[in-house]
Structure 1
């Protein structure tokens, strides 16, 4: 009992306890007033309109309460500190409305609960952040597409297992990144559509005996529809899990791309030069030009992945119902992950859009490498070698012998190839000098790979044109949904003013 009394003397004898306030209530209040005040007010206005239309609140009370809602000092609330006089932001706003409009403000809670209201606020906040993130992703994609167009014919070596593999073009590589980002955009689009449904009217989880209009609430809040099953409306957390999974995939994919950019920025690669605004110097080494913007992007993308994983972990193995694990404690990690992804996409787009490429070094490296040897094997099959496996064996011997003699790919002779052929198939080849030189030319290698999706310049340009059309479609969709939600905010005030 002595220990209990000692703790209570320190913590207080009534709600809220000092440590409970410090650990839970005050941080939740601060997050809510920053992230949820706008969605909360939107719900309050929409609910008032619906109640009045349904005859559940008199026109006189609706007018008085509408005036109080419109005149509520939002900036004062945002600057307020948690006092402990009320439990959370919801009750703080309700108290101020009652002070402004009288007892009729208490009827604003007819047919609703903090349960359906909170989940709706979370969905409204999430969809706004998804819209913002998508805008930055489309900016990044636009920079990548422009970069691809500039370097559709920029010859380079492609790598597999971190080793020189085959010639390609920088434009071809970048288009692969474009397509990866495009899939991320599509995943966000689908996740957005799942998120953009209204739980309002579910109340605690069983709906209400009042004649509410759930569809009207969804319409006023610019949702695409209603989460029909009222228990699902409160219990379901897959709306946020889907957004977080998509953000996680996006961050992981971009991190892999950024790792390549960092390698390419090394003097040993000499491929990429990051522009001065995104480079820092060494405090001791005067020659250093550190592309740390890319390092920060890579590091913070990992932070983004961590935040999304925190959300998914907090949902895991929780009861399928109203539970704080999926609410106030978890939501900030989702907001931070999307805010961070938004910022990093914008920064990466700026770095890509201003970077310089060393075309000369890339071309010389491609011409000096053995990356074209696959085409020599293909050429042998086209001429007179009975199978690709035999052609592969011949060219493998050619490479081994050339390396032993200290020869580069362009120095390979017809005599060397014929000696290898005699060992494998017992005779010389029909291949002539012109055919040999052509098969070892990286430009030829790229040119003949004109199948759909290949690095041939005409094929790359075709893909760019197609991707630009798709990009325009994504931009149009984002503009449409953004304008729709922004108009909904304005329309609520307009209806209340009338």
Structure 2
């Protein structure tokens, strides 16, 4: 029997019940719902709205229900629509009148709002731990590859030599920003909506500050209408998740390229690869490809919630029941992706020799050759033109810049001298970078030191 049946003279059809119910997906909020209900009962007793003996009975029974849910002994029903009414119905069946008094001074509107915030607070903390583990793995990989040189790319064309450590630390900074974004999102999630009622507050003399303290919220939502209709924190969480998945996807794209025969910079561990059903020789980087694909799924979750919220008048609307599916999906997808990605990169093999060999082709020391001429007094734009002509000459001659004789180089500029060869050595090109945050060996060492601090 529905808890709101009094106003109605006709039962809902089975199809309407099924369409209206959210228990199929919001049942995962059972723990948060019970936690919020226990705190609410304590507050009602503290304020003299509920007998303390009733509050104690409610708490004890709720904890029994919690254990039975976790032991798989309770089955929820569509008839009771959602997790809130399912739990309240079970409570009332067991203790009678005290159970019916629990909903005094609250609405499902503020009840679901507090459940979602409690859930997201926990999940943001879990995601933070996963990001920390990923950053630690990147730090270790970078520390172990400070001397590994590789091509740096722009436009997916070989550009300048860098170290693998420097490349990995670029992703470290991305995930560090993700961690900061989630931490900042937590500030706006950490506000208590419970006690706002349906939208206008309540006539009972409640204590929302006590509720905030009891449930571990930093503060209380200051406006009751906003409290029950706000899902900004959830949109923000999905935005943070989308950006984080974008970073994972970018990294995966590079790992997929690097694991091809054409690049052969890395090899994925067999435990994180799959084979072909028809081609026996294949070893596919499917985990990386799946993460890349799942990024679009999380983007879709963000767009789903933005679209749900875009035209809603104040305050609560039933449309907002649909907020949970994209939220739960993004949480599950992001956590799984972070976890598998960290395991995957911690076990991959780096092909150091292949990376270094790739650096020796593609005229990656051309910019350093231009800088050499700048140091000799030639304006950079003129240097750029001289080196461009040398590169064109090398392409036709089938040579690298460092393979040209001094006589050949002087044919382009009299400023070239014997010391040019030292200046355009690949490791010298890397070591010569002086700007803060550069790829130089010293700079990378300093970046690692800052991370360690």
Q: TM-score if structure 2 supplies the norm length? A: 0.94
Aligned to 2:77: 82
Q: Which moved more, 1:301-310 or 1:229-238?
A: 301-310
Equivalence for 2:90: 96
Structure 1 residues 287, 64: CA separation in 2 closer, same or farther (over 3 Å shift)?
closer
Per-residue deviation, 1:117? 0.8
**What residue in structure 1 maps to residue 406 of structure 2?**
414
Q: Does 1:452 align with 2:436?
A: yes
Give CA-to-partner distance per residue, 1:308-357, whole Å, 9 cap, x none. 2222222222223211222x212121111011101101111011101111
Offset at 1:91?
Answer: 2.3
Shift of 1:70: 2.5
Which structure 2 residue ranges, 5 or more long, are not aligned? 1-8
Cα offset, 1:140, TM superposition: 1.4
Query: Given the alignment of the two structures, is residue 43 of structure 1 paired with residue 46 of structure 2, yes or no?
Result: no
> What is the root-mean-square deviation in Å for CA atoms of aligned residues?
1.7
- The residue number in structure 2 matching 1:258 is 252
Q: Is the 8 A contact 1:241 1:312 kept in 2?
A: yes
Cα deviation digits, residues 198-231 of structure 1 (max 9, x gap): 0011111121111111011011111111111111
Tell me, what secondary structure is at the counterpart of 2:102?
Answer: helix
CA offset at residue 283 of structure 1?
Answer: 2.3
CA positional deviation for 1:384: 3.3
Q: Which residue of 2 aligns with 1:388?
A: 380
Is residue 151–residue 170 contact of structure 1 (8 Å, CA) maintained in 2?
Answer: yes
CA contact (8 A) 2:194 2:208 kept: yes
Match 1:352 to one of 328, 341, 345: 345
Contact 1:450–1:456 (CA<8 Å) still a contact in 2? yes
Q: Deviation of residue 378 (structure 1)? A: 0.3
Query: What is the CA–CA distance in structure 1 between the aligned matches of 2:73 and 2:390, rounded to whole Å?
Result: 73
Q: Which residue of 2 aligns with 1:131?
A: 125
Q: Aligned equivalents of 1:318 and 1:89: distance in 2?
A: 24
Distance 1:462 1:139, change over 3 A: same
The 5 A counterparts of 1:191-340 are 191-326=185-320, 328-340=321-333
Is the alpha carbon distance of 1:254 and 1:320 closer, same or farther for their aligned partners in structure 2, counting shifts above 3 Å? farther
Please report how far the alpha carbon of residue 162 of structure 1 lies from its aligned counterpart in structure 2 after TM superposition: 1.1
Distance in structure 2 (CA, Å) of the matches to 1:24 and 1:231: 23
Q: Deviations over 1:100-121 (max 9, x none)?
A: 2221222211211111111111
**Secondary structure, counterpart of 1:450 in structure 2:** coil
Local SS of the residue matching 1:165: strand
Q: Which runs of 5+ in 1 are unaligned?
A: 1-12, 422-427, 470-498
Q: Secondary structure at the match of 1:36?
A: helix
TM-score by length of 1: 0.86
Cα deviation, 1:103-152, whole Å, max 9, x if unaligned, reads: 12222112111111111111111222222222222211111111111111
Q: Distance in 2 between matches of 1:56 and 1:133?
A: 39
Alignment: residue pair count: 443
Equivalence for 1:19 = 15
- Separation in 2 of the partners of 1:207 and 1:342? 36
Contact 1:155 1:170 in 2 (8 A): yes
Give the number of the structure with larger relative contact order, counting CA–CA contacts within 8 Å between residues 6 or more apart: 1
Could you tell me how far 1:244 is from its partner in structure 2? Answer: 0.9
Q: Following TM superposition, by how much is the alpha carbon of 1:191 offset from its aligned partner in structure 2, in angstroms?
A: 0.3
3-state DSSP of counterpart to 2:277: coil
SS of residue paired to 2:146: coil
Contact persistence 1:141–1:178 (CA under 8 A): yes
2:303 is aligned with 1:341: no
CA displacement, residues 16-67 of structure 1 (integer Å, 9 cap, x when unaligned): 3222233341xx112122x111111001100111111111112222233233
Match 1:440 to one of 424, 435, 438: 424
- Is the aligned partner of 1:166 residue 2:150? no
Give, in angstroms, the shift of residue 177 of structure 1. 0.3
Distance 2:408 2:247 in 1: 43
**Equivalent position of 1:116 in the other structure:** 110
Deviations 1:154-203 (A, max 9, x none): 10110101111101111101100000010011000000111011001111
